[in-house]
Amino acid sequence: MGERIESGLLGVLENLIAAAYQKANAECLKTANLQLDVVRHLWRLSHSLQVLSHQHYGQGAERLTDLGR
């Protein structure tokens, strides 16, 4: 699951960089937002499965929220 989260975050980064260099960036931003939603769900699932401690979950959830702004 960690690899899926990591690759999802890299996908978000790639799409944000692509959006910065394109005039019509709506599609890249939409894709980045979709990937970020998938990462958020995987993060919650990791916590539900007790793979993450409450502290790590809280810190990561905060960062994911900030990333979505």
Query: Each residue of 21-51: pLDDT tens digit?
Result: 999 999 999 999 999 999 999 999 999 999 9
Q: Classify residue 39 as exposed, middle or buried by CB count within 10 Å of its CB (0-12, 13-18, 19+).
A: buried
Provide CB contacts within 8 A for 11, sequence distance 6+. 31, 32, 35
Q: What is the pTM of this model?
A: 0.90
pLDDT value of position 68: 87
Average pLDDT in the 42-66 region?
Answer: 96
pLDDT value of position 69: 87
Q: How many residues does the chain have?
A: 69
